[in-house]
Amino acid sequence: MYTTVANLLARVIDRLANFAEKYADLPTLGFTHYQPAQLTTVGKRACLWLQDLVMDMRNLQRAREDLRFRGVKGTTGTQASFLQLFQGDHEKVEELDRKVTEMTGFKKSYLVTGQTYSRKVDIDSLCVLASLGATVHKICTDIRLLANLKEIEEPFEKEQIGSSAMPYKRNPMRAERCCSLARHLMALVSDPLQTAAVQWLERTLDDSANRRISLPESFLTADIILSTLQNITEGLVVYPKVIERHIRHELPFMATENIIMAMVKAGGNRQDCHEKIRVLSQKAAAAVKQEGGDNELLARVQADPYFTPILGQLDSILDPKTFIGRAPQQVTRFLSEEVRPVLEPYKSKMDVKTELQL
């Protein structure tokens, strides 16, 4: 079960890493509080998603490596019946425990158990999957928000119906499906938490029926979520012109500090320039919010004689790529140092593609 989930997760990471690399230097509006903020890049945003997925992969690997075999411990974990069978020979009991553990494919067994291994092991396993569910929910929510802005869309089939009532729509149904199932996956972790909490003394049997549902259902849910997310990441569509239009609409406001600095370098007084920009910005903002107009701050700056000394610099001042900082370099280093190494053990599993039933 762990292996299947890990293989699927590796493919999602691989597809998203390719996407991040492709769009590492494509400027886009950043959002904080879902309000326009300083620019980032499409690839850098994808790396935020990747970072969480890589953490999930490491958690998954750690949980798998931590699994131990219960071993031959007997009805209450004391190995009393085996000690009697071997006529008090403790070494033979331990040797039997070691051999059975190896035969079942485990490297270690638990040294102490009750009638079962601790049910906290189940908590550990499902917490890792629930955490993965949170990651996928965040990624797919972001995709849904960006689809609303028409900046990025999940793949859309030629004959796909976006809405049964509104034929012009292209609803992000795959991302919505992932979010729906991710909530279920996150909720399932409450089962092993409650089961472990109510195990009396050496064991009670009220764990069994619950585990037979919650454990396989968690892995199966993780499986279909990752299969769907792989399909999304293999076909993400980016609309650079829409992104560019959104940047043009907001960038003049963000560039005001750069304009002020350019004026000061040209010999202007910072306080005077700040006041000029403040007044012009408020007028431009009022036109946008109250009249539904375009952002005309740049036109207002160009029309004001005060800014004549820097008119020739405005194009370079408003170049979006001067506002993305080290985002492209961060993408390159992150993919090289933290993403690609995680994928090395899964290189032979990368060629499988997904086709979903819509």
Q: What is the pLDDT of residues 242-298, one digit of tens each?
A: 999 999 988 988 888 889 999 999 999 999 999 999 999 899 888 888 888 888 888
Percentage helix, strand, coil for the chain under 3-state DSSP, each rounded to 5: 70, 5, 25
What are the residue numbers of the active site? 33, 163
Q: Would you say residue 163 has pLDDT above 60?
A: no
How high does pLDDT run on average in the chain?
A: 91
- Condensed to tens digits (0 to 9), the pLDDT of residues 111-141 reads 988 888 889 999 999 999 999 999 999 999 9
Distances (CA, A) of 26 to 50, 243, 250: 17, 9, 16
User: pLDDT band at 166, cuts 50/70/90?
Assistant: low
Closest CA to 254 of 91, 43, 18, 31: 31
pLDDT, greater one: 56 or 3: 56
Q: Average of pLDDT values for 323-335?
A: 96
Cβ distance 170 to 239 under 8 Å? no
Write down the pLDDT at residue 357: 56
Cβ distance 131 to 123 under 8 Å? no
User: pLDDT band at 167, cuts 50/70/90?
Assistant: low
Does CATH place domain 1-68+117-238+326-346 in 3.30.70.890? no
Report the C-alpha gap between 286 and 277 in whole angstroms.
14
Looking at the DSSP bridge assignments, the partners of residue 40 are 28
- In CATH, the architecture of 242-322 is Orthogonal Bundle (1.10)
User: pLDDT band at 349, cuts 50/70/90?
Assistant: confident
pLDDT, greater one: 244 or 347: 244
Q: Would you say residue 2 has pLDDT above 80?
A: no
Q: Would you say residue 356 has pLDDT above 70?
A: no
The domain spans of the chain are 1-68+117-238+326-346, 75-116, 242-322
pTM for this predicted structure: 0.87
Q: Would you say residue 147 has pLDDT above 70?
A: yes
